[in-house]
Every structure is written in C-alpha cells, then in structure tokens.
Amino acid sequence: MRLLITAGPTREYLDDVRYLSNASSGRMGYAIASAAVAAGHEVVLISGPVALAPPEGCQVTYVETTAEMGRACLDAFDDCDGVVAVAAVCDYRPLVRSEGKMTKTGGAISVEMIETDDVLASLGAGKADRFVIGFALEASNPREGALQKLRAKNCDAIVLNGPAAIGSEENSVELIDDSGAVVASWSGPKSELAKRLIEWIDGRWASE
C-alpha cells in the first residue's frame, strides 16, 4: 500500500519571529513511517518542524503551518490508499499576523484567535474508498472525546492517547475502530506501538 503519514507539530506565527505551537516531538509519526517502510509499504511523510531524521525510503514534505500541512495532505492523498494522521496541528491562529517583531508596551496585549482549517476532517470528508486513521490526545473524558473525533472527522479508526505521550519515548494507547469499540490496547516504546498499528492496518486493509 501507499500510506500518507503526518507527524510533528505545526506553528502559527504571531509576528515574524514568534509563534504558537506545541511540544510534539514527532516521534510517534516517524516511528509509524519507519514501521510502514519496514513492512514494505510506500510512505509519504508530511512533517512539521522536528529534530528527527526521516526514515530512509520514504518521500518527505516539510511544512510549518496548519494550512501548509492541509494543502500538502490534500495534494498527496489522491495517490494514497490511506492516511495515518499523527501530527499535532495547531487548532487556532492569530487573526492578524504582525509584520516584523512586536515590541513591549509595558502593558497587557490581546490577540484575537480564529480556528485553523481542520486537516483530518478534510481528509475524512474526501476519503472515498481510502481509510483514515486519526490520533486523539485527550486529557478529560478521553474515550468520549476520542469517539466524538472519530465520528466528526469520518475516521475508520482513532488512536487515543494522553498528554504523557508528548515528547516521550514511550506511550500507552487505545485503538478504537469505526464501531466505537476498543479493539486493541498497547503500551511500550513508540517504535513497538508503531509496529503493532501497521500490523493491524495490514490485517484490515492490505488484502483489499
């Protein structure tokens, strides 16, 4: 199969030097890309800014903003059999990006924020006969939040994890399929979880 995998954070700039982002290391997405290559799949990796070397044998596109990731994903998805959307994209961006560098005023400032485009929902809406697997990082009511994301974004499965996953070498996840059932629970190094996920994907879709 030809798989699209997203990884890492995105950035939304306040001015030309400051940005909003998150602490995603990209390790989970890169581990999944590596496991997919090892399993014999073609991999298109779309990566936000990370300090990782991409796995050998995959096609890599680097992006910064959520809009850039969205465009890159939509461009690549037509030629893929499915997507594993691991990237931790920014949900909001400043309504206005200031030119240059904002200077201190001695007082508080307010920044009006608007939602960014929903990359995963766009992929889910246009998936046709391709599969879409998302990741949900939830802190409160985690399973309920993951189920809402699964349905709202038209995913075939979603991987639920928590804040402890950010920047860590290890993770604990639940895999929820499109029926809403937890079909697997894995804990351990992200490299091992990636292998398990690719094995599950192969078992469900590789023979189709």
Instruction: Report which DSSP code applies to 88.
Output: B
Q: Compute the C-alpha angle 101/102/105, nearest 5°.
A: 150
Residues 6+ apart with CB under 8 A from 203: none
Instruction: Report which DSSP code applies to 9.
Output: B
Match 């931790």 to its residue by tokens: 88
| Catalytic residue of the set 22, 154, 161, 171 | 22
Q: Which helix (H) or strand (E) holds 104?
A: none
| Strands 82-85 and 2-7, bridge-based pairing | parallel
Q: Which residues pair with 193 in a beta bridge?
A: none
Please report the DSSP string for 131-148 in residue order.
EEEEEEE-SSSHHHHHHH
State the Cα–Cα distance between residues 117 and 79, nearest whole angstrom. Answer: 22
Please confirm, yes or no, whether 154 is among the known catalytic residues: no
Indicate which residues carry an active-site annotation: 22
